[in-house]
Amino acid sequence: MKRLSPLLLMLILFVSFAFYSCDNSSNRLNDEMNINERLDQYTSVKLTTDISQLSDSQKKVLGLLIEAAKPTTDIFWSEAYGDKSELMDMIDDPEAQKLAAINYGPWDRLQDNKPFIKGVGAKPKGANFYPVDMDKEEFENWDNPEKDDLYTLIRRDSSGNLKAIPYHEAFAQQNKIIVKKLHKAAEITANEALANYLNLRAEALLNDEYKESDIAWLKMKNNKLGIIIGPIETYEDALFGYKAAHEGVVLVKDKEWSQQLDKFRSVLPELQKGLPVPQKYKEETPGSSGDFNVYDVVYYAGSANTGGKTIAINLPNNPDIRTNVGTRRLELKNVMRDKYDKILIPISELLIVPEQQQHITFDAFFSNTLFHEIAHGLGIGHTITGKGTVREALKDHYSALEEGKADVLDLYMIHELRKQDMITEGNIEDNFVTFVASIFRSIRFGTADAHGVANLIRFNYYLEKGAVQYNEEADAFQVNFDKIGEASQSLSHDILIMQGDGNYDAVDSFVDEYGTVGPKLQDALDKVHDADIPTDITFEQGKEVLGLK
């Protein structure tokens, strides 16, 4: 593609600004759904934990970790939209400002990123990681080894050429604050592993070299407090899936629940061997030095605090570290319980046949979520066709397919572990029905969300295979226990093959085929909407909510 002249570039940027901007008037609000209806998609919960179990020094460290996480919100605003203050100055409705703050921009993340401000165009697929006037062809023809680096912003220089700006330069001001807080927390904490991680993470924010701190994060075994901070997930980059977005999540470990999960760490290699694919698609041996932990979340910031909030975490994402060292799986128990009580149970009462509602339990919801995260460590991270990592080969489809893989493999794992009596709570029917009920919960995140797409694909696949059936008399759905295991295995096979082959076109066709909302599903989603069941949660959070000074 020919380079743009400076004059033409200025014209394009002016038009783009006009297209994506809104004026200072409440009549600019998009009335397809009014602002209050959009805000009602969320229910507010308090992020708390029992801080009486913490020492005075631990409380100080916890406060510093929250302060360190806060600036990731400003960074993510820049990555997702641009200038937050500029947008807020253009909106004079306080409720619309509140909605913009929840969404980090003027696009409703729970409604497929549709704009809720009139005159605002579609959200750029590349968010604000790339110039709005850049297309895929120009990017792919650009000869720059840093262009697909996780930790660079793509901008234009004064001549209109593309250039890569390292995150540590682009976000130097915010990183300065974060680094200071992390170093201070490292000085105070008595936990050496936590101190080592905090210092290494601070260093990584200054040079964009995260591998050493990722490994240090894996080595933390006995830390009561924890934080996930920095550029982590690539969901926000819907153009290529290359760019990692900033987040901060502050955690307090539940040691009693965590100890119950440690027994599962050793089974990963055997589960990998049993995957329903040819040997070449499971040659990688998952690392088993990681561990499983249960936490209360006390603070979400940045990309973690938008759209459908995560209830579990599996990190690091680096495929080499995952294979050679392992991962840590974090179950976020307090937020999981909030979503189960306030969202999953009400949906189940509407959409699952009465005789199967007894199978919906929190234990099953917890274990399904746990093994979803464990399943991210199964399969392979590198294609067998020489196309690089699976992430690189599948680009913008990577996240949705990876979430879909983890979803169906969690049922495979649970079935296998029940046969070994490693899971004894409830029964497999509980896992199946709770799993299907959770599909309806996650589909509501919309097709702009990787988890929403993954659940939509799986619902349509199950419906096609007869694993999920619509009961006309009950006007609800039911699980066919005779078919759901087979359908899950079949879907697992297909996804693992597509990942291993790195076949972008096959995945694109697969998403097109199964990623649509049919009439029966739409009726079900309308029923949930009419019942005023929230789609997700927002938080009352911070030091004051916890009672910290």
Tens of pLDDT, residue by residue over 449-494, are: 777 888 889 999 999 999 999 999 999 999 999 999 999 999 999 9
Where does 204-285 show beta strands of DSSP type E?
A: 225-231, 246-253
Tens of pLDDT, residue by residue over 376-401, are: 878 888 999 999 999 999 998 998 88
> Could you tell me where the DSSP H helices lie in 189-249?
192-207, 211-218
Residue 119 pLDDT class (50, 70, 90 cuts):
confident
Q: Are 495 and 404 in contact (CB under 8 A)?
A: yes
Q: Are 335 and 309 in contact (CB under 8 A)?
A: yes
Bridge partners, residue 153, by sequence: 165
Angle at the Cα of 191 from the Cα atoms of 188 and 192, rounded to 5 degrees: 100
Q: From CA 478, how far away is CA 203, in angstroms rounded?
A: 52
Q: Which residues contact 506 (CB under 8 A, 6 or more apart)?
A: 498
Bridge partners, residue 299, by sequence: 250
* pLDDT value of residue 295: 94
Look up residue 331 and give its DSSP letter.
E
* pLDDT value of residue 448: 66
Q: From CA 360, how far away is CA 344, in angstroms rounded?
A: 9
* pLDDT value of residue 32: 66
* pLDDT value of residue 255: 85
Q: From CA 308, how far away is CA 450, in angstroms rounded?
A: 10
Q: From CA 317, how far away is CA 330, in angstroms rounded?
A: 14
Closest CA to 445 of 534, 364, 336: 534
Q: Say if strands 536-540 and 476-479 run parallel, antiparallel, or are unpaired.
A: unpaired
pTM: 0.81
Tens of pLDDT, residue by residue over 120-173, are: 899 999 999 999 999 999 999 999 999 999 999 999 999 999 999 999 999 999
Q: Which residues contact 543 (CB under 8 A, 6 or more apart)?
A: 63, 66, 549
